[in-house]
Structure 1
Amino acid sequence: MNRATRTLLALILLGLAALGFLLGPARRMLLMAAPRCLAGQWHGCYDTENGVVLMTLAGLPVAALAGWALARVRRPAPWRTSLAEVGLVYGTVPWIWLTLMPGPGAGVVAGRVSLVPLRDLVTMAPLGIGGNLLVLAALGFFAPMRFAALTALPRVLALGAGCSVLIETAQYVFRLDRVSSVDDVLINAIGAMLAALLSRPWWRVSADERQPIRAGAS
């Protein structure tokens, strides 16, 4: 195991430890959804923020195992390819699910739009800002590790902005009782870019390593 690999694994473990520490005070809230989630009930689990977060955390070992198995199957492809693919999907889908979760007036209240930059940001709570920074953080962190075309901060910023625009548009079109705000797009995109900065040491992978293994290759 080379130095870069050890460093990345250490960062992942540190991140998991920090996440566990931060979620300590919210443990009781998360466990409120545990009975319904363990019973496989949709209502009260997957349609609540607590339930989605709880199941995402519970599934981390499975995601790690999937990454390891994928890396083993695809050898001698670099382990970063498999890690990036699993991390990108597993770290992004739950956040998108949360952002598209219907509000109490979904289907009844007309879509709302806020197109004035920074107007919503000044009234946004720190928790809301932090949450918006994390929505596309996994995308920004892992995408440059997987796709050579995204190994540039402006491109990651543009990708984050584009994905966020799609999310905000879906909120409006499907009348989810949420405000489609340009500030959400800005914060989501910045979150993706900041996360990309953290993974920058692992961007510099040769083009050959990023190529998928061809069938029949030795």
Structure 2
Amino acid sequence: MNGTWALWGGVVLAAIAALPVAGVVAWWLARRRGWRVALCEVGMVVGTAPWLWMILTPKGSGRSLNVVPLRDLADQLTDGRVVEQFGGNLLVFAALGFLLPLRFAWFTRSYRVLLVGACASIVVETVQFALAIGRHSSIDDVLLNATGAYLAAQLSRHWWASRA
């Protein structure tokens, strides 16, 4: 975990430092769209951007690709960073998954959130591969990212019916 903080502590601190700006943006949007809409929109960005920053940060050069489902997941079970890998991948689009159904009624069908999570993850994995930023592009990341969005949507289900 210490290695994780050394690598990504700056991202965490930058995200925390950006919160006042996010608050001002939410206040400005709320004057035009209402608080619920403003907080959902800002929350989707603030909750997703740091993760995208981390997974699109170059780690050298080159590229690798795995399109065989569950191969990387099985390998990660024996890796000492299994919690970081699984947890991190589940959280990448969690804010998006949690807030999409609250902001847009169309996303109260859970499979739609799952599809958005999968499509967004495919875009990220494709960008990682295309830019050759030293990252491993994997179908397992897509599966975990989409699952994280879906599970987060389920956590917000209680508030779907009260959507304004």
SS in 2 for 1:154: helix
Q: Which residue identity does 2:16 align to in structure 1?
A: L
TM superposition score normalised by structure 1: 0.66
Identity %: 49
Q: Which has the higher helix share?
A: 2
Identify the residue that residue 59 of structure 1 maps to in structure 2.
Answer: 18
Matched, 1:112 2:83: no
Equivalent residue for 2:50, pick from 94, 103, 115: 94
Q: Unmatched 5+ residue regions in structure 2?
A: 77-81
Rg larger in structure: 1
Q: CA deviation at 1:64?
A: 3.1
Once the 2 structures are TM-superposed, how far is the Cα of residue 205 of structure 1 from its aligned partner?
A: 4.6
- Kindly report the root-mean-square deviation, in angstroms, between the aligned alpha carbons of the 2 structures: 2.0
Aligned partner of 1:192 in structure 2 is 149
Summarize the Cα distance change of 1:79–1:201 in structure 2 as closer, same or farther, 3 Å threshold.
Answer: farther
1:201 to partner: Cα distance: 2.0
Query: Deviations for 1:109-167, whole angstroms, at most 9, x for unmatched residues?
Result: 2x211111111112221111101111000110111111122111110001100000000
- Give the paired residue count: 158
For 1:65 and 1:170, locate their aligned partners in 2 and report how far apart those are by CA, in whole Å: 31
* Poorly superposed stretches of 4+, deviation over 4 Å: none
Task: Determine if the alignment matches structure 1 residue 160 to structure 2 residue 117.
Answer: yes
Corresponding residue of 1:80:
36
Question: 1:127, 1:168 → 2: CA distance?
Answer: 18
Distance in 2 separating the partners of 1:156 and 1:141 = 9
Structure 1: give runs of 5+ residues left out of the alignment: 1-24, 33-47, 210-218
Relative contact order higher in (CA < 8 Å, ≥ 6 apart): 2
With the length of structure 2 as denominator, give the TM-score of the two structures.
0.87
The one-letter amino acid paired with 1:127 is: E
